Chain A
Amino acid sequence: MNGLFDLPSDLQHSYLGLVGLHLREALIPVLAGLLLALPVAQLCVRLRWLYPPVLGVTTVLYAIPSLAFFVVLIDYTGQTETTVMIPLAVYSLVVFVPAIVDGVRSVPQETLDAATAMGLGPVRRYLQVQLPIAAPAIIAGLRVATVSSISLVSVGMLIGNQGALGNLLYDGMSYGRPRLVWLSVIGTAVLATVVDALLVLLRRILTPWMPRGARRPSAGNRPEPAVTAGKGAAR
């Protein structure tokens, strides 16, 4: 009898190896999405008219099923990790832009006025006041982007075994071995939960200035993670 975590050799990885791969494929795109979203969001904050069209375009991007994305990308990037990660980065970007814009906009006008009056230039104002105060909103976006990214990586199994834990699911189904299916499904779920918990911890550490209990000081301005997460789950 095999051990609980023994895997078929065609996967070319141990279970922990697959977990590491999964995390890499999920988190790199989130990071890329965040880095891209920061300047885009800042542009949208400065040029108010830009935000609605940007929001429109990103929503359309979000509506494209990941499979369709893969099919187009395979012609350019082949059956590689990159093909999986590019759509994930785009989805993250779509989550981050409104999160950052709303977060930055939720900074009270009088706080900004005070900063200006004290002689903080636009760059300092952005880095020292707007971004830190937007941190809770950005981390809320980060949680959504990360969790949906972790769940979406598995789809990569359809393009040349680039799905990490998803490949395990594929194997399990094609060989009729429920143990592998469970290992994949539960593994992905546990991974998402643990990473999400770490992000909550990160927010606690980064924002000691938030009133305890009231998790969102300026309610209503933040994207609703539940809604966007729902969109992600449908894919």
Chain B
Amino acid sequence: MIRIDGVTKRYPDGTVAVDRLSLDIPDGAITVFVGPSGCGKTTTLRMINRMVEPSEGRILIDGEDSRRQPVNTLRRSMGYVIQNAGLFQHRTIVDNIATVPRLLGWSKEKARSRARELMERVGLDGSLAKRYPYQLSGGQQQRVGVARALAADPPVLLMDEPFSAVDPVVRKGLQDELLRIQAELGKTIVFVTHDIDEAVKLGTMVAVMRTGGRLAQYAPPAELLSDPADAFVEDFLGADRGIRRLSFFPSAELELLTGPVAAAGTGRTAARDTGDAPYLLVTDADGRPLGWAEPGLPTDGPVDPGRLLPCGRPFVAGQDSLRAALDCAVLSPTGWAVAVDGSGRVAGVVSQQAIGEAIRAAHAGGRSDGADTGASAKVAG
């Protein structure tokens, strides 16, 4: 565990970048520092590997003052990833990744084979190994940066806005990759960003900092969204925190109706017993959704898919969150969301109203259970 204990950083010009910061960074989890520009995030991160020395207070690594060990030993036990990757432009990709193993005295062959192994882990094609950084895209360079930080298998990874210079699609890919790597390797990751969505998506714990280097709130993301500590945090979270909070509620509790679902051409489509639903969801013979049939559309013969209302992107029952379910319902022309199972077959349909009730129930549950349950279990989607 990394303990930040009453740490203040005053730069020589008098700027107080971090002001009496105290918090514990849990092992094997992603802790995100988030806040507006200049609030002291980078300074905090750099105090952990002593690129910046605290003016007051101390930082304990597994109970021991970080100043007790030689600074370069400390740094080599912590991977460091920055915006634009900061690759060594004069070294090939493998040699960039092999830097720290080489510093630790590994043989060239061993360091390089480790580097190739890591390229695979971060999703880089092996054919890029002999290239130079200028021959890679920004997203690829960032992956190299992550691989380089992981090369000597350090227990801690420090990441300073690593994904902020790439486009949103690439960023999402890198974020998902990081979550996957984290799940596989169980590293202690300290992540700095100014993007609250990124913080909520990646963080097991999120530390919101305010200008002047003070901690505004330190909590799991679900708790942040449900109970912001003050107006600053609430403002920083943005207008739609209620909607975003739904990401933390699973859709498993939703009651799915199978009554208004029928495969095309079967007798049941003719019966059109849709129960409460005004529309009938027509599927193909395999059970995959084709679209909604309006009342009056003859559905006993072969169905012309062109005459069905589109059902949009369905959500995966049990796996996606209530946010995904609500999104499907809102986007659906019928107001009903389509749920599918893992293989894309229709599991049932659910109305906006039913989702609304589930949300109310989830909120009531989330309150009474406290932060532990709802907060730590993040739901995909």
The interface on chain B, measured as residues whose beta carbon lies within 8 A of the other chain's beta carbons, has a size of: 30
The CA of A120 and the CA of B100, in the complex, are separated in Å by: 9
B132 near A114 (CB under 8 angstroms)? no
A133 near B100 (CB under 8 angstroms)? no
Given contacts A110-B86, A209-B90, contact A119 B51 (CB under 8 A): no
> Among residues 70 to 104 in chain B, which have CB atoms less than 8 Å away from a CB atom of chain A?
71-76, 78, 80, 82-92, 99-100, 103
| A211 CB contacts on chain B under 8 angstroms | 134
The CA of A228 and the CA of B353, in the complex, are separated in Å by: 79
B100 near A209 (CB under 8 angstroms)? no
Quick one: CB contact mask for A119-139 with B, threshold 8 Å, 1 for yes? 111001000010011010000
A111 near B86 (CB under 8 angstroms)? yes
Does A193 sit within 8 A of B, measured CB to CB?
no
B103 near A119 (CB under 8 angstroms)? yes
How big is the A interface, by class?
Answer: 20 to 34
Given contacts A209-B132, A209-B134, A211-B134, contact A117 B75 (CB under 8 A): yes
Does B49 sit within 8 A of A, measured CB to CB?
yes
The CA of A208 and the CA of B90, in the complex, are separated in Å by: 8
A133 near B75 (CB under 8 angstroms)? no
> Among residues 36 to 93 in chain B, which have CB atoms less than 8 Å away from a CB atom of chain A?
49, 51, 71-76, 78, 80, 82-92
Most buried by B among A113, A132, A207: A113
The CA of A208 and the CA of B72, in the complex, are separated in Å by: 30
B residues contacting A by CB (< 8 A) are 49, 51, 71-76, 78, 80, 82-92, 99-100, 103, 132-134, 145, 148, 158
What are 11 A-B contacts defined by CB distance under 8 Å? A110-B86, A111-B86, A111-B87, A117-B78, A117-B80, A118-B75, A119-B72, A119-B103, A121-B72, A209-B132, A209-B133
Starting from the known contacts A119-B73, A129-B90, 8 additional A-B residue pairs (CB-CB under 8 Å) come to A108-B86, A111-B87, A111-B88, A117-B82, A118-B148, A124-B103, A209-B92, A209-B132
A residues contacting B by CB (< 8 A) are 108, 110-111, 113-121, 124, 129, 132-133, 135, 207-211, 217
